[in-house]
Structure formats: C-alpha cells, structure tokens
Amino acid sequence: MAVPTDVIPRRPTLLFIVVLALLFLLMSVSSQTRYLGETRTMFERTVMTIFSPVPKLVHWVGGALQDMYHGYIDMRGAINENLELRRKVASLTTDNLKLRQSEGDLRRLRSLLAYSEQFTMSTSMAQTIMLDTAGRFKSIIIDRGSSGGVEVNDVIANANGLIGRVVLTTKDLAKVQLVTDNNCSVGSLVERTRRQGVVRGNGSTNLQMGDIPSLADVQPGDKVLTAGIDGVYPRGIPIGLVTKAEPGQSLFKTITVKPSVDFGAIEEVIVIHTRKVPPGIVRYAP
C-alpha cells in the first residue's frame, strides 16, 4: 500500500513542537515554584534534598578514619611501652637473681671463714673449677697452686666437712683426691664412743668404715670425724654419718658412712696447710 507523500514532512515538525512545549512547561514550573525571598528553584531543592546525606556520610567516614588512625597510633604506643616494660622487668629480674646469688655466695663465704677459724693451722680459700666424679679417679681441680702456698697433702674441706687432699700441684692449680676415691683412706673415729677406725672410699657416693671390732658400739646416726692419726688429716673434721652398722663375716663390723659433703655441689673450699710429717721420721726404725 502506498503512503501519501503529504504526511511524511509533517512528523519532524510535530516532534519539534512537542519538545518546545515541554521546555516551556519546565521553565514555567521552575519559575512558579520559587517561594518569596528564595533564589533556588525546585530542581535545585530536589538535588539538594537528594544529596544532603552526602556531607554527613563524608563527615562520618572522615571521623571513623581519624579514630582508626589515632587508635592505631595509641596501639603502637602501647605495644612499644609494653615491650619497654618487659625489658625493664627482665633486667630487674636478672639483677634480683644476681643479688640473690651474691647473697648466697656471701653466706657460704661467711660459713667457710667461721669454720676456718677453728683450725690452729694456716688456711686459705680456693674455688673449684673442675669436678670429676664419673671417672675412675674421683677428684676436683682448684684455682690455687704452689704459687699460692698449696702443697701436696694439704687437706681440702668446706663448712660441711672433709673433701679430700691435694695430690698434685702446678703453679696456679691443684688436683684434689676426694675421700670417695677407691684409693683414699682416712684415719677416723666415732665421735660418741671415740672408737677409731679407717674410712675408705669405694668409688660410689658412700664410704666404708673398717677396722672396727664386731663388739664395738657403733650405731646408725653416729657422727664420724677425722682422728688425726694418719699423718695427713688433722683431728676433728666431720667425715659423715653412720647409716648402717652390722656384724661382718670376719671379726670386724660392716659400717657404711654417708659423707657430710655433697660432692656434686662443691664451690668454695678451705685449703688447710697441714704440718707435714717428714719422711725420715716415718721411715725411721731403731
């Protein structure tokens, strides 16, 4: 079907007229919606109403971010302060431990000095620098030698009792045989009855006291001292306590003695510079 030629040119003209009418209507409404004394149009008010929450949102977000930033700064400051406090606590704890250790050392030294004053022979102090109780030869090394007046057969003790005797010296060091060594023998006596015998080491933590007759009065708990009859150890140094006293297979008792000294905790010691018996007197026989 053919379209009439007179209808085609009228459509653009009609569309143009509609657009102009709408623009005029918008301008008319915009000018009529102004209130007295207002300079804003309805369009402007609509835009402002729609976007009025935006500043509040921006302000809230800015405040939240600022609070988060300050919170982070405060947290970092608290962490640094906590670390500094931890360092101070560790330092104070170390100082406290050092003071306690110094206090313990002072108590031990005082007890050693008080004990050393009981001897009429000259004494000196030394420090243990090596302990060997696991080997075949039970010994310790002390930090004083011949230059400090230490000689072979000088007796070593502490405030608890007898430790041993010097068997080797150098200029600055000395080796001490412990009373627990297999080759060590000490003339001893039972303090309560004054019965004399010989205490020998057996390589273990205990000692054996021999040469005590089966009929002798020796009881567990008796205190054993050096007798001063062997030419090395002076009289009256504590050796240990009797823990077992039973009749043996021979004419002598089997006596076990627990040492007075804890050989696993020897630190400071007393060196007793004993009066040595000259070999000529020992070997002389008329």
> Per-residue pLDDT tens for 97-122?
665 656 666 666 666 666 666 777 88
pLDDT, mean of residues 1-20: 57
Nearest one of 197, 201, 227, 229 to 212, comparing CA atoms: 197
Q: Where are the beta strands (DSSP E) in the chain?
A: 123-132, 139-142, 155-158, 161-169, 174-178, 185-190, 196-201, 207-210, 223-226, 238-247, 253-259, 268-272
What percent of the chain shows pLDDT beyond 70?
Answer: 71
Tokens found for residue 85: 């406090």
Q: What is the pLDDT at residue 137?
A: 87
146 pLDDT tier (thresholds 50, 70, 90):
very high
Q: What is the pLDDT at residue 8?
A: 47
Cβ 123 vs Cβ 198: under 8 Å: no
Tokens found for residue 39: 């300079």
167 pLDDT tier (thresholds 50, 70, 90):
very high
Nearest one of 262, 193, 201 to 222, comparing CA atoms: 193
Helix (H, G, I), strand (E, B) or coil at 120: coil
Cβ 143 vs Cβ 129: under 8 Å: yes
Cβ 266 vs Cβ 140: under 8 Å: yes
> Per-residue pLDDT tens for 37-92?
455 555 555 655 665 565 666 667 777 777 787 777 878 878 888 888 877 777 77
Q: What is the pLDDT at residue 178?
A: 95
Nearest one of 178, 180, 174 to 165, comparing CA atoms: 178
Q: What's the pTM value of the predicted model, to 2 decimals? A: 0.62
Buried b (16+ CB within 10 A) or exposed e, 200-236: bbeeeeebbbbbbeeebebeeebbbbbbbeeebbbee
d(CA 182, CA 203): 5
Q: What is the pLDDT at residue 284?
A: 78
Helix (H, G, I), strand (E, B) or coil at 186: strand
> Per-residue pLDDT tens for 182-221?
999 999 999 999 999 999 998 888 999 999 998 899 999 9
